[in-house]
Chains A and B, each alone.
Chain A
Amino acid sequence: MIKKIIDKVGFGEAFLLSIVIGYVILGIFDFALLKNVLCVLTRLIARIGPVLLIVFVVMFFTHLFFEGQRIVRLLGKESGFRGWIVAISGGIASSGPIYMWYPLLSDLKEKGMKDSLIATFLYNRAVKIPLLPMMVHYFGWNFTLALSIYMILFSVVNGVVVQLLTQRGIEG
């Protein structure tokens, strides 16, 4: 039954449908809570809207200027040290929630981006430069500096381990 629905409408749509059904059930039992959830959802959508636009623009330019071969050279098996630098700096510079970047990364993966670099990019999204003053406010300079440096260093370890465990070898 579930498989039939997935085959018919697609996995993404079936996933969304199941959550909508969950919302409807919640609404039947506790309408006030549903209203609260919808308020949070509206705020979330309003916040990520601009990020989604940035991702769209980045994807557009990737499609326009970066052919498959160029992506492979930059982020594929032969990318070497430059690939790590691109993944680290890209991860740090990217803004917004992590899942907003999945479409772009999925696209780049199809074009030959290594798993290790995708994992490193995603890990470095934890280093949020605009939020550093807030972290300093709560935990101090030493903590913020130490944690940020370790996050960047361990992002490479993370990438290497993910690459090894996805059984494509360290070179991807």
Chain B
Amino acid sequence: MVKMTNLKAQNQAFFKTTQAFKKSLPILMGVLMLLALADALIPKQSYRLIFSGKWFFDPLIGAALGSVSGGNPLTSYIIGGELRHEGISMMAIIAFIVSWVTVGIIQLPAEAIMLGKRFAIVRNAVSFCMSIVIAIVTFLTIGTE
């Protein structure tokens, strides 16, 4: 009897999970297709050209750039490393790395559909601002090393 109940519960759990997945799959696929498009269309070298060299604007630009980019965080480290060699300020690089993983403009539609429009917009906006705050605080802690 217990085994029967367990099997029933497992079947129910499997059914619920499959249903939730079926609902999410078109959105996930759409996000993946958008990411692939952005990855192929935006050359990695173009990031360097966007920075102004001004300490006030560069963190803002870094955060904005990280927000519209996506993909493996490793890519952000590599680009960040290259930008550092090019002499871009650490504050801008930190804002770029942090916003790369915490803000997602490309996946915003998916986040809005699944977690609510208001939540998605507020979370991304707060994370954007916070990436600049973290950049400043981290920069003040470690200096220019």
Contact = CB atoms under 8 A, between A and B. Distances in A.
Contact of A123 (B9, B28, B78, B102): B102
A75 B74 CA distance: 30
B16 interface: yes
B115 A102 contact: yes
Classify chain A's interface size.
35 or more
A37 B40 contact: yes
B94 to A, nearest CB: 7
A142 to B, nearest CB: 5
Identify whether the interface residues of B are mostly helix, strand, loop, or mixed.
helix
A103 B24 contact: yes
Given A40-B36, A102-B28, A126-B102, 16 more contacts: A12-B25, A19-B34, A23-B37, A98-B107, A99-B104, A99-B107, A105-B115, A109-B116, A118-B115, A138-B81, A143-B145, A158-B102, A158-B130, A161-B126, A162-B122, A166-B116
Interface of B: 9-10, 12-14, 16-17, 20-21, 23-37, 39-41, 71-74, 77-78, 80-81, 84, 94, 97-98, 101-102, 104, 107, 109-111, 113-116, 118-119, 122-123, 126-127, 130, 133-134, 137-138, 141-142, 145
